[in-house]
Amino acid sequence: MASRNPALVFRLDPEKVAYWYFRLNGFLQIENFVVHPGRRGSQRTDADLLAVRFPHRAEFLFDHSEPMRDDEGTLCLSPEAIDVVIAEVKTNQPCTLNGPWAIEEHQNVHRVLAAIGCVPRDTIDMAATRIYRDGIYQHGTIRIRLIAVGGDRSPELAERFPEVVQVTWPQIFDFIWHRFYTYRHQKTQVQQWDAQGLLLKRLADSSAASQDFISIAQSRMR
């Protein structure tokens, strides 16, 4: 079983932490989404996470006076749009976007949009062009965007792509700790979670405050 692997029990994998962050915020996800070549050869690239969130998502809507609050401000969540996210995850580097998502000539965004089918075929070129230019495309109830996860915010990325959301590890761990602490009585039966989810839960439960958890969790990713 995966949980018997010491590396999985004691070390946090950045992409899995990002997966749990987006999962706790109501995103349905595909990990390591591969963009295949048009002809024989190695893969063109892969997206660390490909995620979709629906605008009416609510957890505990029928069990409590108020549903759980997601990380609306950090993620710039929309109450109206179906949110399609391509997430790029870095461990100790500042937030950044790799070439496959920033160089239009490679047409990797075109291929992702075609593969997941979130826009009509005759709209792919326009949507991809705007994503390469701005990091985001929105039309009607569909919003497709790039999100960069990393150790710190990047001024260079913010200057080039001001609409691209940058999420840092301290922000992620702060949200996770508060989610587990606030709903500690509801989130007790989690045996079905994977090894990384269980490790996050255990570290959060053993941390008296958010800053303690942030420090411990970040040390586990190095």
Q: Which of 7, 8, 1 lies closest to 195, judged by CA?
A: 8
What is the pLDDT at residue 62? Answer: 63
User: Which of 118-132, 135-149, 177-191 is predicted least confidently?
Assistant: 177-191
Q: Which of 146, 141, 148 lies closest to 128, judged by CA?
A: 146
SS3 at position 33: strand
Tokens for 194, please give them: 């994977």
- Inter-residue contact 46 to 32 (CB < 8 Å): yes
The 8-class DSSP code of residue 105 comes to G
pTM: 0.89
- CB burial readout 119-154, b (16+ within 10 A) else e: beeeebeebbebbbebbbbbeeeebbbbbbbbbeeb
Report the share of the chain in percent with pLDDT over 70: 87
18 Cβ neighbours under 8 A, 6+ residues apart: 48, 49, 87, 89, 149, 172
Indicate the pLDDT class of residue 73, thresholds 50, 70 and 90: very high
What is the pLDDT at residue 66? Answer: 75
